[in-house]
Amino acid sequence: MNAHTEETLRRFFRRALNPFMVSLWRLGLAWQFNVWPEVSGRIMVITHTGRKSGLRRRTPVNYAIVDGEVYCVAGFGEVSDWYRNVLKHPDVEVWLPDGWWAGVAEEMTDADSRAFIMRQVMIGSGFAAYVAGLNPRKMTDAELERATAPCRLMRIRRTEARTGPGGPGELAWVWPVATMILLPLALLRRGKKR
């Protein structure tokens, strides 16, 4: 992938796809994207602190859980904003389909484990790996390592469960309110047609 295409993709993710995915999580619809991980991938949201602004940021990423630890990849490598943020501020939160956790992020540098874990994350990325030209189920460790060398593998050690406002599903209240408003309107409209 050339530099211009990579920057265009990165901009698309940052400005369009990532905010859309975070909105789905906030609306309580994240489970839908994790139902068929072989296609859509396993997606979580990582909440991190901006290295310059100090503001909380949310980024959806593909992940895998290996031996109870959460692993994800900065697919655009060292230029990924979230990656640079967690290097400066490693205390993060992760929104997983089964819960919301505080944790500590660190770069995974163990060469012996990297190929196996990277393969699990790439398999967990569903179609995204194939779009990037990778077939993690068929590539050798050496081929996978060469292809993913620019990527940064991160481990997130979960420290405590989180609850309360500000987490996944925080906007799920929209659905019952919308139903209470739209259902009577639809019934009223249907009655007028008769």
User: Which residues form the domain of 10?
Assistant: 3-193
Query: Which tokens sit at 73?
Result: 């990849």
Confidence class for position 159, pLDDT limits 50, 70, 90:
very high
* 59: CATH: 2.30.110.10
What are 62-119's pLDDT values in tens digits?
999 999 999 999 988 898 999 999 999 999 999 998 889 999 999 998 888 998 999 9
Max CA separation in the chain (angstroms): 71
Q: Which residue has the higher pLDDT, 182 or 136?
A: 136
Is the distance from CB of 67 to CB of 108 less than 8 angstroms?
Answer: no
Q: Which residue has the higher pLDDT, 95 or 178?
A: 95
The model carries a pTM of 0.80
Question: 115-119: which pairs have CB atoms within 8 A and are 24 or more residues apart?
Answer: 115/141, 115/144, 115/145, 116/66, 116/141, 117/64, 117/66, 117/71, 117/153, 118/73, 118/144, 118/145, 118/148, 118/151, 118/153, 119/144
Domain total of the chain? 1
DSSP classification of residue 58: E
